[in-house]
Structure 1
Amino acid sequence: MTRVAGMYGKLGPQFPVALKDFTDYALAPLPAPPTAVDWATNVASWPMDGNDQYGDCTMAAAAHLLQSWNAQTKQTDSVPTEKEVVAEYLQLSGGKDTGLVEAQVLKAWQRGGLWGNRVVAYAPVNVHDLTAIKQTISLFGGVYAGIQVPSNAQQQFQNGKPWTLDPGWQQQPIEGGHAIPLLGYDADWLYAITWGAVQQVAWDWWSTYSDEAWAVMSQEYKEAGTVNGIDVATLTADLKRV
């Protein structure tokens, strides 16, 4: 399959002061994460969802999470078409291709819903707390993440190569902010979905270029009866103040 880098569109991160890190809402210490998790290969194909024509990566990432959550939980919740992803993006952006803030997408997703799907709750995760990133992926089926993309990452992607800190990486200009779901990890890599493909991400690359990460308690996990040890009542009360 030919891999072509798409567009960007994640605006600068915003962290509501009312929200604590998601680990602070744990009813008891969260279990140590497994050595590896793979939610990235349980979906037959990953659509571009308009991200080759629009800076709608924040919405494409959300749609990809829905695909994976359905596969993980065996639920059959509605997954938007590419046309519906773009339409929702333009509605939230006021009809212009301006990009979106991840926190604003999450707020809309939790309060009114997106594409008939309404998440239970969400909270930020410290991007440099790699254990918390792994716990979020393993317990909640993914991370809604944000990165700043250096120019050489586009060529790495198109060549089917992992995102790594190649020699001279310090001189690489940043091309834009990008939203990706993290759907797996092992000792060497994180596994993200972007531009219609699964992309390997080196841990030190993630630690260098990530700027936000979110735990999302999905409608699908609620339907499957899985809430994974989080104080939902306190978290949803905090979200009412966002």
Structure 2
Amino acid sequence: MKFGRKPFIPNEKDLLYRNYRRTALPPIPPSFGHQNLISDWGLLGNDTVGDCVIAGADHETMLWTAEGSVEASFTAANAMSDYSAITGYNPNDPNTDQGTEVRTALQYRQKTGMIDAGGNRHKIAVYLLLDHSNLLNELLEAVYLFSAVGIGINFPDSAMEQFNNGQPWSVVQGSQIEGGHYVPVVGYDGSYIYCVTWGRVQKMTVDFLKTYCEEAWAILSQEFLNGKGVSPEGFDFAQLQADLAAITGTPIPAPVSLSSISLLPTTLNLMAEQSGTISVAAHYSDGSSKDVSQLVTYSTAATDALSFQGNTITSLQNVSDQYNVTVSYQGIDTALVVKVSTNPNPKQTYDLKVCNLERAKADALMTFLRIIGFTVVEELQ
């Protein structure tokens, strides 16, 4: 396994979490976390290169999108692409695998966004530095409010042995630091803090956090805001917008939400036991649209008559009928009508033999047969 976090360098321009924390916050339960929403976190390249900051960012995005709408999918190739864009890493030159400064990655995530397996970019709204003098309280509060907090730790060699043995990370006296590592903290059970690293959920003790954590960032995701429909409860989002604009000249972009979906066609005509396709577009509050034809789900009472795969709909029975189908994407529905027809006039063949007929009369007969709907194949003997 690899590490890849560069040392933290303080910067007076960092926005501080404590400046936006209201005194009246929702009570934090004794245990919380949504890490079980993800069945496969993936290593995302951090077993071979030092891209832990990028892998952690992708893991955070997986969780946010799973909570807010539909889980985004990430691969090692996506992570390598962002690692190269942020740091200049060249897969053909191992000497360029030098790791990432967390703040630099956060700036990239805010401006450009992490790319997923479908080519979509996932931006964050803003990032806030936690206060080390009140680290545990702020971390648990921020994880509860925003689902994930990214932390940079100085990784002791004892923790790798504990990870390999499936044990929680705890402080072992005399351990040597092997390097800097980045992990998203995603939950708490009253005793252990839960983080994600190297493709799985890992427990750590509070003492481990306090001993080895060098930096911690509360991160607001646009997907998380969209999923809730409002800014997180108890957080002064409006003041944060104003301060960010004053300090950096870059206001937090307004959350973009899904407004509607549209179908083409709205009525799909099929022949019995044949297939057809539809196109589905998602329309957003900022005026943008994208093709989501392969991402929709379907519901209908006619489960024995129709099947669905991506944007392809197939008639399963040799009967004529009309069916109502609900097409859904991220909680928004629209109606589709599927009309299935059978061939009412199956093709039949007739043999008509006419002998000793003058050519002109034969031509007239064939013309008449064509007029009334027959296909005439003439054979002369």
Q: Within the alignment, does 1:85 sit opposite 2:79 as a pair?
A: yes
Q: Deviations over 1:9-63 (max 9, x none)?
A: 0000134312332121235543342211122221011100000000000000000
Report the alpha carbon displacement of residue 159 of structure 1 after superposing the two structures with TM: 0.4
1:1-242 mapped onto 2 (5 Å cutoff): 6-73=1-68, 75-76=69-70, 78-95=72-89, 96-115=96-115, 116-127=121-132, 128-165=134-171, 169-224=172-227, 225-228=229-232, 229-230=235-236, 231-237=239-245, 240=248
Percentage of matched positions with identical amino acids? 29
Distance 2:111 2:12 in 1: 18
Distance 2:74 2:243 in 1: 27
Over 6 Å off, 4+ runs: none
| Greater Cα offset, 26-35 or 209-218 | 26-35
Q: Deviations over 1:102-122 (max 9, x none)?
A: 111001111222211111111
Which structure would you say has the larger Rg?
A: 2
Which 5+ residue runs of structure 2 have no aligned equivalent?
A: 90-95, 116-120, 251-381
Report the alpha carbon displacement of residue 147 of structure 1 after superposing the two structures with TM: 0.5
CA RMSD of aligned residues (A): 1.8
Q: State the number of aligned residues.
A: 233
Q: Which has the higher strand share?
A: 2
| Greater Cα offset, 27-36 or 60-69 | 27-36
Contact kept? 2:57, 2:114, Cα under 8 Å: no
Q: Which has the higher contact order (CA 8 A, sep 6+)?
A: 1
Distance 2:103 2:163 in 1: 26
Structure 1 counterpart SS, 2:202: strand
Distance 2:217 2:249 in 1: 17
Contact kept? 2:124, 2:221, Cα under 8 Å: yes
Structure 2 letter corresponding to 1:129:
L
Distance 1:56 1:129 in 2: 25
Structure 2 counterpart SS, 1:183: strand
Distance 2:10 2:28 in 1: 25
Distance 2:80 2:40 in 1: 18
Report the alpha carbon displacement of residue 238 of structure 1 after superposing the two structures with TM: 5.5
Q: Which has the higher helix share?
A: 1
Give the structure-1-normalised TM-score: 0.90
Distance 2:82 2:240 in 1: 27
Contact kept? 1:39, 1:183, Cα under 8 Å: yes
